[in-house]
Structure 1
């Protein structure tokens, strides 16, 4: 591994030791951490079947981490049932220790995620981002999910940090870097890779209803275009900006319907 990867691994170990010392991480999480390490070692092997097994095991682990199914991760509740604007549902936010492991694993096990970067960051932010904002937030407004509600509450900076590092970065590493980038490498078809990643991103939001599946799929197309033209940094920037515009300008997380 390169020096930056060793630095990332060292910071990861230090951070999770700190979490263990403060009770945010239990010993029950150790099997999950060891399993992730084993899958990373398999993926870095040169034997094809071992690589395939490592990726399949990681996909299962990633789903379990994203759904918070694995024991030992005692995520702190940073925001508890806050109502940010009139008519909006209460919002709670946890500082999750399990989901970020997905992104950290990808950075360490799949260095090609960072190598697959484009040169169109300005294009992504000046052209793709405004269109994505219009499609997603305009669509949410048209569907009656949100209303115009500008705000900047006391918890906003904590929300912003969590959204950038634990949500946007992790999700873009997985959906754009790993899924879209991986399918791109495998099938040599940009459009198919982009659409598949966008649909999977939509399915990940299906729990909120068909409306959020539709809007998340639209967002996934926008983030996928940003990734194609500007690389991972552009996709993360677009994702974070769309989430920020939703949080600061509209009902968050959504209007209380019915």
Structure 2
């Protein structure tokens, strides 16, 4: 493994040791952690069937981690039913410890996701980010699910830190690095990989309603273009910039119905 991967592993170990010390991580997490280690070993094996099995098991584990189905992870609630602007739904936020494991697994088990090199961060975002902002937030406004609501509440910094590291980074590692990058390596078709990853990203938001499926799919296309042009860092910055603009300038998370 490269020095960057060892650093990531050391940070992961330190972070989860602190979580265990403070009671946010229980012994019930051990089966999930051991299963992730086993899948990582499988995907690095030379036999094709072992790699397929490893990736299949990881996808099941990733789904369970993302949906918070596995026991032992006690995320700290840092925002509790706050109404950020008039007419908005109350918003709560946890610092989740299960979902970030998806991103760390991908970094350590699939180092090829960092191999894509584009034209640089700023050139890649120059056109993609404005169009993604217009499509997503303009679309949300036209659908009537957000309104103009500029704000910078005291919770902004913890929200931004969580959204950058535990949301945007993790989701881009999964949907762009692992899914889009993996499909592109498998089928040698950039457009197909981008669309499939974007639609899966939309499906991950379907629980909030068809509007969010539509908007998240549009966002996924924008993030996929950023990834294609500038690599993982461009996709993460594009994702975080859209989320931060939504938080700071529009109703967050959305307007209350009725």
Smaller-chain TM-score bracket:
over 0.9
Q: Match for residue 123 of structure 2?
A: 123
TM-score normalised to structure 1 length: 0.99
Cα separation, 2, equivalents of 1:254 and 1:123: 31
Cα separation, 2, equivalents of 1:243 and 1:7: 28
**Superposed displacement of residue 117, structure 1:** 2.7
SS at match of 2:80: strand
Gaps in structure 1 of 5+ consecutive residues: none
Q: Match for residue 113 of structure 1?
A: 113
Q: Match for residue 39 of structure 1?
A: 39
Q: Match for residue 196 of structure 1?
A: 196
Q: Match for residue 96 of structure 1?
A: 96
Cα separation, 2, equivalents of 1:159 and 1:123: 27
Q: Say what the alpha-carbon RMSD is for the aligned residues.
A: 0.7
Cα separation, 2, equivalents of 1:117 and 1:24: 37
Q: Match for residue 20 of structure 2?
A: 20
Gaps in structure 2 of 5+ consecutive residues: none
> How many pairs align?
258
TM-score normalised to structure 2 length: 0.99
**Superposed displacement of residue 124, structure 1:** 2.5
Q: Match for residue 248 of structure 1?
A: 248
Cα separation, 2, equivalents of 1:238 and 1:91: 23
Q: Match for residue 81 of structure 1?
A: 81
Cα separation, 2, equivalents of 1:230 and 1:11: 26
Cα separation, 1, equivalents of 2:115 and 2:26: 35
**Superposed displacement of residue 224, structure 1:** 0.4
SS at match of 1:69: coil
SS at match of 1:87: coil
For the pair 1:30 / 2:30, whether they are aligned, the reply is yes
Q: Match for residue 11 of structure 1?
A: 11
Cα separation, 1, equivalents of 2:168 and 2:91: 18
**Superposed displacement of residue 122, structure 1:** 2.1
Q: Match for residue 138 of structure 1?
A: 138
Cα separation, 2, equivalents of 1:191 and 1:74: 39
Cα separation, 2, equivalents of 1:117 and 1:199: 24
